[in-house]
Structure 1
């Protein structure tokens, strides 16, 4: 107990070492895990996203310990999506993309924009400006007087997302841009009630509430959410395509009121045709469908409930280009018909192509919001990094 108390004190943790770990907040649990690693007197210490649940003061204490260990001769591998922290604590960076090392840089003399360019594999200075699929509709919508379908004020959760304001309007696609770990998914989950916020208020169709207490409550308020983790949080592989497609509607009715057979058949046929689900056999298990067709079934599940707000988190990840194009077109069509869509994607080109309005997140807080007019990928990355220019500009200067 004395040794544990000393290790905890080194990280500024004032808790009883004999207490149950599960009784403490997630941030404390994270710091205890780090203290355990530090206590081994290792020559190499690997920290994989150690700050993911820590606030600013806790991060500062951890960095003090890391610097002390470094000065004592310990080699530290710091894995993180928080670029500001990488630049603050690291001496040297190794950049990976798609499972391969694509670069190594000394932190001194490297900009965040250069790092991001290596991460996403683009020479951003030579990218052409994108044609926005819904740009004209965006300008027309901006000129109209519209009432919001949803307003979030100060919505946040400790260790997940800082207090965030967001207003959604009918007929508008709001693109959420940011690097991995920026808080994109956390925002969607808070809006849908999948995670409980610590702060903030929500107004849906003029009815103000402190929070949506659960996904079921969100569904009742005409919200729908397609998770980025299709396999774990969306697809029931052993159930049929038809059953997967109708789960959302059945939830709104309650499990004691089964959907009539004729209604089931009509809805399944209608949406399989509308979304071009293949093979067109609703009796097949979801396991037998490709990723793209599974995603179409999940979209159909929510569209059948006729939502006012559709939250899409990485809806085109891991699917072929044909299905991706179909889903992108569907998003544009839904907005044109009056639905409010929140579109989240790691592909900035895709976000820009589809969105009327752009919200940029960094380090789990909103740093910018603006109409999507004349913005390109380079502009977004300059917002994220706070740095103009990039690799191509530096290479031209060196030449």
Structure 2
């Protein structure tokens, strides 16, 4: 069975890459990522699971993808990124069959647009897809996989929809993508066995090599038949984290440690929560557990916040995960606080841990997060769930074989 050579762009911590590697159907030539904590974590994963130390470190390129020519040909003595022989040295004349990845989503996300005073119109990340496409044009893979948030469908920082720019750019590069992205490419990860509601746009493109092929028919079949066959029943928060040991508050908390963090499980330790927040968590989780539902409305949550803090807020800050439902989306914002991802057990009085977030994102338990809690939450929140990625990888392999 032939392995397909792949390049991963905007690799992050490697959620998408993890799924592709798990299939055993792909040979990773290189992964590109500009954030150092993500690179270190990814190298560690490749070393211990899929590769050896020497080649794993070489395959993960820490560089700014916007400097495309240097990325391809190499660079030397850069104050931030050191020296590297570049992608071509790793591709080494081999055919690149598949390019995968997705630019940072903050510029396209609805939350990002709300928080930014300019609605993210001036954010350079709006146009990072251009770097992706330049590398596609250079290496000419048979298939591309481009992943992003739902907000990319409506983002128009300069007045023109980003997806229209992307479609035009791929078309000019001789790649076909599906005609109706919202209808076909907008997928909810919860429908593929991921225990969270997480909508993402998954753009699969095919290089137009054969004029006799109706590529739109091929892509329609890919989404409605090939990928659709991997759907499965909903998984819940309990399915994901119910077997992890509880982490209870300390009777005598210290200045920065509020919970008994002695599980010895990678990433399974609570962030610090003051007594006020612990009390709120207990009230809200008990309200759900005892089926009182006094705090089901936004207004009631605002009232609780005012009652406890003496401050008013235009939005409610709290959300308790339900044992018997999929989680809400795991976001990168978890690096700042966990108030919207409160553990459902009222006795634990805490937000979810890095390991619980990783479980909900379907990272395997042997995937180690060794960076700071903030960096770990950020990289987990920005990742593609590996369980979905594995299904996508298998579907893409079937698509490749059919062409």
Instruction: Quickly name the TM-score band, shorter chain normalised.
Output: under 0.3
Give TM-score, length-normalised by structure 1.
0.25
Give TM-score, length-normalised by structure 2.
0.24
Q: Which has the higher strand share?
A: 1
Q: Which has the larger radius of gyration?
A: 1
